[in-house]
Amino acid sequence: MYALRGREALKKAGITHVVSVLRLPLDKELFVQYQHKIIEVDDTEAENMLEHFADSYKFISDALKGGGAVLIHCAMGKSRSATVLTAYLMASRCLAPHLALGIVRRVRPFVEPNSGFMQQLELYYQMEFAENVEDHPIYQRWIYLRDVEMSNAAGRAPERIHFRDAEADTGRITRVKEGETPEEKGEVQLRCKKCRTVLAYSASFTPHMPKPAQPPYSETPLQPCAHHFVEPLLWMKTELSKGEVSGKLECPKCNSKVGTYAWQGLKCSCGDWVVPGISIARGKVDEISLKL
């Protein structure tokens, strides 16, 4: 903020554009001679900075292409402004977050985006710097998980659910490369034991970590988890959209019970707690390997 009042320094640096990354009343007199963009965010881990990366990139890029120079500021020049600059460097130079942030730290060593912003920079990298982040499956899944977390804190079901198999880009669903079939990828298919309806593929599984064994150690070998935890799938839509905090899942064809769900989480037989808990019981399905 203090840099805005250093008129001579800004003039010497050739500043033509300013990006203000904060949610505070601003003195409009400070910006009369600049092209000005405001990103209204607080420096909190829960703030959605990711939705602003594409627009800020375009604003900065257009300014530089036009021969200008850009001041990016927040309140202290430590977290929010550093995040916007890091995102720009990532997209303009195809860099991973830690490499882009390293460039910023060469000239401003104390910058430190908060952990929520760092996670969003990593997602931006995974999204390959998408121009339309809101339509991207990775962004939609991230928003969905944020909604689940906030809904759990309020003791209710989430209002918005991201169904994994509703994603437009099926290649991102199955993680199958172009020209590669699910069989070649080695997918596992879950089918209802009773009617053989396909319920899920392993690409939709939610990974979880079994708890380490505690003494006294047992000679009994570890058994596979009793459930497959999965992301929401379209055949569950009727049940999951009821607004209930928990319930049962039935096969969409034969209506036999195949699993349960609880937005606040479920404890697996291995001891791990999975949030949200959307589970298909191993005993209710056949696991079919599609590997040729």
The CA-atom distances, in angstroms, between 285 and each of 196, 197, 201, 233, 271 are: 8, 9, 12, 16, 21
Amino acid identity for residue 73 in this structure: H
To the query of whether residue 192 is one of the catalytic residues in this protein, the response is no
**Bridging pattern class, strands 17-21 and 35-39:** parallel
Two tokens, residue 172: 């991102």
Amino acid identity for residue 82 in this structure: A
| Range list of β-strands (E), the chain | 17-21, 35-39, 70-73, 188-192, 198-201, 227-229, 246-250, 257-262, 266-267, 273-274, 277-281, 285-289
**Measured between alpha carbons, how far is 142 from 155 in angstroms, rounded to an integer?**
20
**Measured between alpha carbons, how far is 122 from 134 in angstroms, rounded to an integer?**
16
For the chain, percent helix, then strand, then coil, each to nearest 5? 40, 20, 45
Two tokens, residue 31: 């910006």
Catalytic residue among 74, 192, 251, 268: 74
Rg of the chain over Cα atoms, rounded to whole angstroms, equals: 24
Amino acid identity for residue 39 in this structure: I
Catalytic residue positions, numbered: 74
